[in-house]
Every structure is written in structure tokens, then in C-alpha cells.
């Protein structure tokens, strides 16, 4: 059996966790490995920098979860920055974004606007799966 393609999921908050679980399940049904961490990385007793970077390096893409009405935690921005530095495909999944905040050009919304976002708010799982497949790099041939 071939190795499953790995996707790193980055999320924060309860809304993010719920959507991340949904995305993980849809990706799993499509044959991807996109498991959520058992212990959240934002717990203060965990040394996570090296482990997270290794997980991002091993993944072919990083998906950040951007739930409606919630701010992204700093660790999500760290993970996206690491993915960018490693040349990974970066994709957001969430709800359609409002206009950018011109008052705060360094806000998470303003920084993340450069990445594609799949608006999953009105998609069923089949449509979300099709959108995710279309947005991810094609499977390596061989």
C-alpha cells in the first residue's frame, strides 16, 4: 500500500477545532493523512517548535483553518511562516473573508489575504472534498 499524502492542519480555538475535525475527516476519506494533534501545541508545558517544523517539512501542504468570527492564535501564524519558509503549498479553509482592516495592516486577516481560502461555510462534505482536491498539488507520479 502506498504512503498516504500528508497535509498539516493548523487551527486555533473551538470553532477552528470543529472545522479542522471536519476537514481532517474529508481529507481522510480522500486518502490523505491530515490528523489533528492529540495534545494541542499551545499548552505551555510542551516544547513544540522542532516537532512542528518537522511535521510541516514532512507534509506536502499546510492548511490553516480560519473560522468565522475568531482570531487566529500566534502559533498559527508561526506555522504558516514555517510552511512559507519551507516552500509548502499554503491554503486556508474557513468562511469568506470580510474586507481587509486598513487600520491594522499586520493583523492576521491582512497577512493571510495572500493565501487562497476555500469558503467551506455553505459546502457539504462532497463539495468541500472536491474543492480541497482541486486546490492541492497533484499526486506525484511513480
Q: What is the pLDDT of residues 36-71, one digit of tens each?
A: 765 555 555 456 677 888 899 999 999 998 877 767
Q: Tell me the backbone φ, ψ of residue 90, rounded to 5 degrees.
A: -120, 130
Beta bridge partners, 64, equal 10, 92
Q: What is the pLDDT of residues 1-49, one digit of tens each?
A: 457 899 999 988 888 888 999 999 999 999 999 987 655 555 554 566 7
Crossing angle (nearest 10°) for helices 13-29 and 125-135: 80
Cell 462534505 found at: 125
- Whether this prediction's pTM lies above 0.85 is answered by no
Contact of 66 with 72, CB cutoff 8 Å? yes
Amino acid at each position: 500500500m502506498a504512503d498516504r499524502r500528508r497535509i498539516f492542519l493548523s487551527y486555533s480555538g473551538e470553532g477552528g477545532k470543529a472545522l479542522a475535525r471536519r476537514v481532517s475527516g474529508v481529507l481522510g476519506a480522500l486518502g490523505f493523512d491530515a490528523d489533528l494533534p492529540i495534545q494541542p501545541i499551545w499548552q505551555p508545558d510542551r516544547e513544540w517548535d522542532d516537532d512542528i517544523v518537522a511535521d510541516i517539512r514532512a507534509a506536502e501542504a499546510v492548511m490553516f483553518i480560519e473560522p468565522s468570527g475568531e482570531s487566529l492564535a500566534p502559533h498559527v501564524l508561526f506555522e504558516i511562516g514555517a510552511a512559507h519558509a519551507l516552500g509548502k503549498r499554503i491554503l486556508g479553509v474557513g468562511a469568506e473573508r470580510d474586507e481587509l482592516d486598513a487600520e491594522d495592516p499586520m493583523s492576521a486577516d491582512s497577512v493571510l489575504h495572500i493565501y487562497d481560502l476555500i469558503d467551506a461555510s455553505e459546502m457539504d462534505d462532497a463539495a468541500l472534498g472536491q474543492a480541497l482536491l482541486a486546490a492541492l498539488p497533484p499526486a506525484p507520479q511513480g
